Each structure stands twice: as C-alpha cells, then as structure tokens.
Amino acid sequence: MTARRVPLGLAAALVISVTTAGCGSSDGRPGQALSPGSSAGASASPGPHHGGWNKQRFLAAFDKHKGTTRTASPTTINALVGAVFTNDASGDHFCTASVVDSAGQNLIVTAAHCVYDPGVGQRADLVFVPGYRGGDAPNGVWPLSAITVDPSWAQQGNPDLDVAFAVVQPQGGKQVQQVLGANKLGVDKGYQLPVRMTGYPSTADVPITCMNTTAEQSTTQLRIACPDYTGGTSGSPWVTGFDPRTKTGTVVGVIGGYQQGGNTPDISYSSYFDDTVQALYDRATG
C-alpha cells in the first residue's frame, strides 16, 4: 500500500510566518511524496517502503523483539501525540505531530515537509487528532490555523530546518494544552540522548513507540535506530526525560530532516534543534 499523497493548496485561513537561515536540500521521505511543482529540494518519489502494517504485525514484531529498547510496538495512547489529516479524521492520516508548551497553550510541532511544499506553499485544511486510535478521535479534532516554517525550508526545502510549528484552533472554549498538557521544547541538548519516539504509520490504526539513544548524523542532524517507522511517522516527536506519570518530557527532535526522515523504516533522522529552531519557535509564539 502506498502512502497517501498530501494535497497541495494555499488556505486563506492559514498564515505563514518565517525566520531567516541558510539553505540546503533533501532527498525525500518515504510516504511523504510531494506533488509535481515542488522544488528540487524535495523528491517527488514516495520512496521504497510503504508499510502494510496492521495491529497483528505490530504485536508479532513486539513479541519477536521483546526485551529490547529498539522495538517499535503498539503503544498506550499518549494524548500529546496525534495523527495529522486533511479536513477531518474520516480519511487517511499522513503525518504525526505533538503538543509543545507555549504561552498561548495552542502550539504543536511536526516536520515542515508535512505542512509546506517548498517552492509551492503550505498545505490546506489540515487537522491534528491527538490520541487517534482505530478511527476514533477521543480528544477532539483541532484545525491548524497558522503554520510557521523557516524561509530556507519554504524556498528550497533545507533539510536542516525540516521543522514546523503550528497553532491549532481552540475547541469548546479551551486551548489544546489546557486539555492535554504539553512537552517542553529542548534546544541544544546534545547529540546522544535517550528518547522515546511515538508515531503513526499511515497504514496502521494505532501509534507505535520505540526507545533508544540518539546519535550524531552531522552537526545539524540527529539519527536513531528504531524499526518499522514507515510513511506517516514524519513529525513523530523525540522526547527525552519522559515522565510516565505526567506522560510529558522534552521534545528534542521530530522525524524529518535528512532524506525527509529516512529512506528505510529502521533508521530515522531529525533536524538538530539549535538556536535557529528556538528562533522559529519564538516567531511562532510571538
């Protein structure tokens, strides 16, 4: 099963905010194919692996690798992490996002390639469904109302800034962080960190979680070895210092960056969260 092609379009209700940084290129994230017309910084090829995962296969993988921290397995729902859809939760989810702490209590973080096609524009009518499982939206559907990406991503798909922050609209008179809580943003935390990574493969109805230690891919990129992170897991948060009581921690990366997150399901990448990402966050919250 091939991953869902993300629709293009400029939505009048969405507002792009950008900061300055250098430029770069990207090789393309599996399952996150860009439509024709995107810049050369992001490949139009969907990549070599597209999943075919379901709950039974996840459980089989969990049994096979039980006792290791590199196992990706079906996870107890963490409502801070959710799937990204177009329009509503009735279609296919194609990316992952999570709530990040902000003064406005209304911010999520994901990969830039999930929400903005370089050289074309931002994607329209996106919604965040935290805690999504098996067709259910137990914590509501939160439309994105503003997206912040770096201009080097917007113009050329710079893999070192494949990060986006998005404001979501309040529901029932409350902001998303008021309802669910949030992870802190971690900047310049180093290259070797124990993290917990939760994401939504596009071919599954449950999220998966893996725990392992990150490594330095380059001065601007992190990598991690975790199996089964196929298309749809782009934007999955890398959380260190996870507190099982509060189910919160500090997000130090998201699947994205080099190869738009990785061209095999067992190695994933993230842009390194440095002062440029801090500036992007400041712009999003300002």
What digits encode the pLDDT tens for the residues 196-239? 999 999 998 899 999 999 999 999 999 999 999 999 999 999 99
Is the residue at 6 inside a domain? no
Residue 8 maps to a domain? no
**Residue 98 in domain:** yes
How far is the C-alpha of 148 from the C-alpha of 29, rounded, in Å?
20
In a domain, 4, yes or no: no
Q: Are 36 and 170 in contact (CB under 8 A)?
A: no
CATH of the domain at 199: 2.40.10.10
* Tens of pLDDT, residues 165-174: 999 999 999 9
Domain count, the chain: 1
Asked whether residue 75 is assigned to any structural domain, the reply reads yes
Q: What is the spatial distance between Cα 31 and Cα 28, in angstroms, rounded to a whole number?
A: 9
pTM: 0.78
**Do the domain assignments include residue 72?**
yes
Residue 2 domain-assigned?
no
Q: Dihedral of CA 108/111/114/119: which sign? A: positive
In this structure, are residues 200 and 207 in contact, taking their beta carbons and an 8 Å threshold? yes
Q: Domain of 54? A: 16-39+48-285
Tell me the per-residue pLDDT of 13-63, one tens digit each, with 9 for 90 and over: 333 344 333 333 333 333 333 232 233 333 322 332 333 333 343 334 333
| Residue at 129 is within a domain | yes
